[in-house]
Chain A
């Protein structure tokens, strides 16, 4: 459904020097730097898949989405959405896809939400039954009627965002691109938006491509994860596969009697190769161990043998930690602050 092949986007950025003198200088010189926002991204998202496209700020996510939606031309490489090259066939692609750019509105700023929907209905030539079915769904999940006749410019971010998500799905698009769709929503509305996306995906087989910094969005909507870093895809697979890719796991324990925490930490680090331990509270210690060299059983056995445990947990590797490791891998190859 969504295919990217060696997609590259470079921007020319005029070089500006800092300060007033520098600004004056830029009046006379027109030097520019070339910034590579996306460098050779390739991936394939099958129809009906809900994929999360994630990466740190500046990883080139939005730029990629803009090429996939036909807003920008790639510098090189190509991509197709539902068989069309979006930037070459913009209008036909636009009829096939729905898009939410979290920071921009596709609604008519001076009109009530209901009017924007009526306009979109005519622009997309949406058949009556489809329009009625979708409006009923949005009413059920998002309570759109509550937005009344307030012009969009006067809505709160949360009110506007749910209308944006609904608007992007109104014409039953084959694929929907959601760029930060739950920004500014409270917990209940976040749930509602996720439910809407999941329901549309289940009923109509809509392909979903989501970019978000909200881990909740990713885990509750997506069955696939694409991680981009420094402009290239570094991981594609299921959420579980990504979690299993964690190269360190942790065991947290609390103990009584025995050595003081400093000695305990020294003991653990000396006897278990590659392990780092740190104190979280007075007698509560977090042990990070490399999954390649030790198993959870070995670590637990060691702890049971040397400490009088009062509590012990082995938390699941959370997506956030895994992602943080991936994001910082190249910038800071050794230690990862947690």
Chain B
């Protein structure tokens, strides 16, 4: 699976997905507008909350740090929105899964390859401009080199976690046919426990404890704590990465297992 020949078989799924994505320019534009507004709402809400406070730093975040956190949280979530859940479930519902099964490749890996460009395009063509726009408008916390160095692998791991979660949700399509409801629940649960809406440090104790044992904190809270230096020492920083890597591996294994179970249930009627 790691030989170059094998990689050569999955690369075309990535380039095809990238090409397809670039066909829809207006979708990207609308995505940018939506992201700008959503980020603005969050950022200005939090800044308003903070403006009335005079007592210390809640959760240890000062205003520029919190602004950065909230801003990047939205952009990370945007990059993790790789559409794998709706595409997998859509294929199952329409029966197009039949043609996907005719390709001599591992379906989850091909899906991962096809999902990566979506993340990268969202991050660079939508996320980056939005980040620059707000960096120009508001004071942000300047990251340290250490922060950046830790953030990059952590963000990469967050993409794998995000992919695993979405693939598992998509595979739910084999059981329920229509996963709209599952997705709505997933979106809100994941956003909350990832620390995308509220940094986990600001959550009440028991809730924070729950968030820490879930895989979702590796999506947003983990990478941003590393970026902003919100850890007690190298051991804790390494801990964040190790927990992320463990969750990424566990979710990948779970998705692979779920796929093997699901593929035996394929029932494509008609056509």
Contacts and interface: CB of A to CB of B under 8 A. Distances in A.
Contacts of A95: 104
B28 to A, nearest CB: 14
Interface stretch (B8-16, B126-134, B181-189): B8-16
A101 B271 contact: yes
B20 interface: yes
B20 to A, nearest CB: 4
Interface in A1-60: 11
B105 A123 contact: yes
A109 B264 CA distance: 26
Interface string A277-317: 00000000000000000000000000000000000000000
Given A66-B268, A119-B15, A125-B8, A94 B106 contact: no
A193 interface: no
Contact of A110 (B20, B267, B270): B20
Contacts of B268: 66, 71-72
Contacts, number: 86
A64 interface: no
B96 to A, nearest CB: 6
Interface string B74-108: 00000000000000000000011111011111100
Interface string A105-146: 110111100010011001111000000000000000000000
B93 to A, nearest CB: 13
17 contacts: A70-B102, A72-B266, A92-B104, A101-B99, A106-B102, A108-B16, A111-B20, A118-B12, A119-B13, A119-B16, A122-B9, A122-B12, A123-B9, A123-B13, A123-B103, A123-B104, A125-B9
Interface of B: 5, 8-9, 11-13, 15-16, 19-20, 23-24, 95-99, 101-106, 263-264, 266-271
Interface of A: 11, 62, 66, 69-73, 90-92, 94-95, 97, 99, 101-106, 108-111, 115, 118-119, 122-125, 151, 179
